[in-house]
């Protein structure tokens, strides 16, 4: 089984864990501003923490939420939304640990709260999570029904994060059902949304799904390309479950290319990480894949050991999809070791399980091994029936139309991405041009203002000069008038002086001289 798709939506108003974010939240928890602030921090921590701490922080958040609601002080809907989110995170942990009943109970409890407060984003999230559990239980109709509800709500609320997650979940289901065209449409549509919304968590899953489709179509180069892209994204956000999934898928690619050392390296890395995460479903898958690897290189003892470990875990956790795969592999192992009766038993168990689930990919491989088993048993009729069904399933999964659809979707995706890149480049180029134009216009405006100022100054100078000239002309006229008046005054003054002098001469001629009078007076005194 190639795809270990466990796309569980943790409430998307919160970001997936980074150690820096975790450290900051721990500091906030020590000195909370209020009980509601502490509650929000606990819910954030239940999302950002390591797997083994989810239960602790989620439980604390749920208890604190109940305490706050009882006081009836804060916004009740807001507190209940946080409580439901914490319950969802707790359910995520139980699902990861394959505690299916506990996970379902918690998801349903959170759904009751989300419906009560009409939190549509929370409802869409929970529908997605419940759909993945129903998928594991083999209830495909229920799975699709739940995803349909999630998609309807996401479109209604225009929640980009929920839309992309729902499309990715649809894709993983359609892959298993053999509906490749539908899977492609949802995968690339989801990827475009995720890239536009910068949602790396969902983007990692979408890239992995597309890689899985290429792997199905035997395009190992493209499969590796998309798996490596997914790995890069998932490592950047510390998505440990996702990283383990990509390790497994890369190992399958290298296994198909007979790069045995590299394949074994990634199988082991995947198993180690899943053991650390206590991901039972994932561990079983790793055992199954390691069994197939050792079967290929001829180590039958290790093959049987790992196959049996996988079956034991899958039967304990009721992983029907995994069991269909494990039974088919055990059938192939017994066929190769000439234990034909055991081979038929496991082959039929796989066939019935895959038929119940409606997973075409499992049926395609199971019918192939059953046709070989019946041929070896001498039952030509059953061998022919199974081989005929195998060819029909194979052709529906790996036909030219599917290849064409895959290529079309890839071309559309590349074109849209290039168009987006070109539009960004054009926008930047236009921005540079606009800045240059704006700068030029500013310069022209500045020069225009300077010209206006200059012309205004010149006009003022001219006006001032005109005034000064006019003033000068008036002054000159006044000066001429004054000069003429001065000349008249001087002429009159001269005439007066001349008249006075003339009168004095006449007076002097008529009067006795003063010296004569003084002389006569002096003679009389004698």
Per-chain mean pLDDT for the chain: 78
Give me the percent of the chain exceeding a pLDDT of 70: 71
Per-residue pLDDT, 444: 54
Least confident piece of the model among 169-178, 271-280, 500-509: 500-509
Per-residue pLDDT, 462: 60
- In CATH, which of 3.90.550.10, 3.40.50.720, 3.40.50.410, 1.25.40.10 is domain 239-317? 1.25.40.10
Q: Is 7 in contact with 205 (CB distance < 8 Å)?
A: yes
Query: 358: alpha, beta or left, given left = phi > 0 and alpha = psi -120 to 50?
Result: left
- Over residues 391-416, mean pLDDT: 56
Per-residue pLDDT, 288: 93
Q: Inform me whether the pLDDT recorded for 290 exceeds 80.
A: yes
**What does CATH list as the number for 8-158?**
1.25.40.10
Ranked by mean pLDDT, the top range of 64-68, 138-142, 466-470 is 64-68
SS3 state of residue 353: helix
- In CATH, which of 1.10.3470, 1.25.10, 1.25.40, 3.30.70 is domain 159-237? 1.25.40
Q: Inform me whether the pLDDT recorded for 284 exceeds 80.
A: yes
Least confident piece of the model among 53-67, 175-189, 318-332: 175-189
Which band of pLDDT confidence, cut at 50, 70 and 90, is reported for residue 18?
Answer: very low
Q: Is 288 in contact with 326 (CB distance < 8 Å)?
A: yes
User: Nearest Cα to 43, choosing from 80, 5, 73, 7?
Assistant: 80
User: Nearest Cα to 207, choosing from 179, 218, 274, 235?
Assistant: 235
Q: Inform me whether the pLDDT recorded for 189 exceeds 80.
A: no
Task: Report the distance separating Cα 21 and Cα 45, nearest Å.
Answer: 9
Q: Inform me whether the pLDDT recorded for 6 exceeds 70.
A: no
Is residue 433 packed enough to be buried (19+ CB in 10 Å), middle (13-18) or exposed (0-12)? Answer: exposed
Domain definitions of the chain by residue range = 8-158, 159-237, 239-317, 319-398
How many Cα atoms within 13 Å fall on the side-chain side of residue 43?
Answer: 26
- Token code pair at residue 498: 């001349």
Is residue 31 packed enough to be buried (19+ CB in 10 Å), middle (13-18) or exposed (0-12)? Answer: exposed
Distance of CA 397 to the CA centre of its chain: 32
Per-residue pLDDT, 206: 79
| Continuous H helices in 257-379 | 260-277, 280-296, 300-316, 320-336, 340-357, 360-377
Q: Inform me whether the pLDDT recorded for 113 exceeds 80.
A: yes
Q: Which residue has the higher pLDDT, 188 or 488?
A: 188
Which band of pLDDT confidence, cut at 50, 70 and 90, is reported for residue 119?
Answer: very high
**C-alpha radius of gyration, the chain, whole number:** 49
- Token code pair at residue 132: 């993945």
**Nearby residues of 127 by Cβ (< 8 Å), 6 or more positions away:** 111, 146, 147, 149, 150, 153
Least confident piece of the model among 225-234, 246-255, 392-401, 413-422: 413-422
Say if 8-158 and 159-237 have the same CATH topology.
yes
- Over residues 110-123, mean pLDDT: 93
**What does CATH list as the number for 319-398?**
1.25.40.10
Task: Report the distance separating Cα 239 and Cα 228, nearest Å.
Answer: 14
User: Nearest Cα to 279, choosing from 14, 48, 92, 16?
Assistant: 92
Which band of pLDDT confidence, cut at 50, 70 and 90, is reported for residue 13?
Answer: very low
Q: Inform me whether the pLDDT recorded for 10 exceeds 50.
A: no
């Amino acid at each position: 089984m190639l795809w270990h798709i466990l796309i569980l939506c943790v409430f998307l108003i919160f970001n997936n864990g980074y150690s820096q974010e975790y450290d900051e939240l721990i500091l906030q928890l020590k000195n909370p501003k209020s009980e509601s602030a502490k509650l929000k921090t606990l819910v954030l921590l239940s999302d950002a923490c390591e797997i083994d701490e989810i239960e602790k922080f989620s439980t604390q958040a749920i208890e604190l939420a109940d305490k706050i609601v009882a006081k009836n002080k804060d916004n009740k809907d807001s507190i209940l939304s946080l409580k439901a989110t914490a319950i969802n995170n707790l359910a995520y942990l139980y699902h990861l640990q394959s505690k299916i009943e506990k996970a379902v109970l918690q998801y349903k409890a959170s759904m009751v709260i989300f419906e009560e407060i009409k939190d549509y984003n929370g409802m869409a999230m929970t529908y997605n999570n419940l759909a993945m559990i129903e998928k594991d239980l083999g209830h495909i109709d229920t799975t699709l029904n739940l995803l349909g509800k999630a998609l309807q709500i996401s479109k209604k609320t225009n929640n980009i994060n929920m839309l992309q997650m729902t499309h990715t979940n649809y894709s993983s289901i359609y892959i298993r059902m053999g509906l490749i065209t539908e899977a492609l449409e949802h995968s690339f549509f989801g990827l475009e949304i995720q890239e536009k919304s910068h949602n790396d968590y969902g983007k990692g899953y979408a890239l992995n799904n597309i890689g899985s489709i290429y792997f199905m179509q035997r395009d190992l180069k493209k499969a590796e390309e998309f798996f490596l892209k997914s790995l890069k994204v998932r490592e950047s956000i510390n998505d440990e479950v996702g990283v383990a999934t990509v390790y497994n898928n890369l190992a399958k690619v290298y296994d198909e290319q007979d790069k045995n050392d590299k394949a074994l390296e990634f199988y082991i890395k995947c198993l180690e990480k899943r053991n650390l995460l206590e991901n039972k479903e994932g561990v079983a898958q790793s055992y199954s894949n390691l069994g197939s690897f050792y079967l290929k290189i001829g180590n039958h003892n290790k093959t049987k050991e790992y196959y049996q470990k996988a079956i034991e875990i899958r039967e304990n956790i009721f992983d029907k999809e995994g069991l269909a795969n494990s039974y088919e592999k055990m059938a192939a192992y017994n066929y190769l070791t000439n234990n034909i009766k055991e081979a038929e038993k496991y082959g039929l168990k796989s066939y019935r399980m895959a038929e119940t689930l409606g997973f075409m990919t499992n049926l395609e491989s199971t019918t192939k091994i059953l046709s070989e088993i019946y041929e070896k048993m001498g039952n030509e009729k059953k061998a022919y029936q199974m081989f005929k069904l195998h060819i029909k399933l194979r052709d529906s999964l790996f036909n030219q139309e599917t290849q064409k659809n895959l290529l079309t979707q890839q071309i559309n995706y590349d074109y849209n991405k290039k168009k987006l890149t070109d539009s960004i480049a054009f926008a930047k180029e236009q921005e540079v041009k606009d800045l240059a134009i704006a700068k030029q216009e500013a310069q022209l405006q500045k020069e225009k203002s300077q010209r206006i100022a200059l012309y205004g100054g010149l006009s003022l100078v001219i006006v001032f000069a005109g005034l000064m000239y006019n003033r000068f002309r008036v002054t000159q006229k006044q000066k001429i008038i004054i000069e003429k008046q001065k000349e008249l005054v001087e002429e009159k003054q001269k005439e007066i002086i001349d008249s006075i002098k003339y009168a004095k001469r006449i007076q002097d001629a008529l009067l006795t001289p003063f010296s004569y009078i003084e002389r006569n007076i002096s003679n009389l005194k004698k």
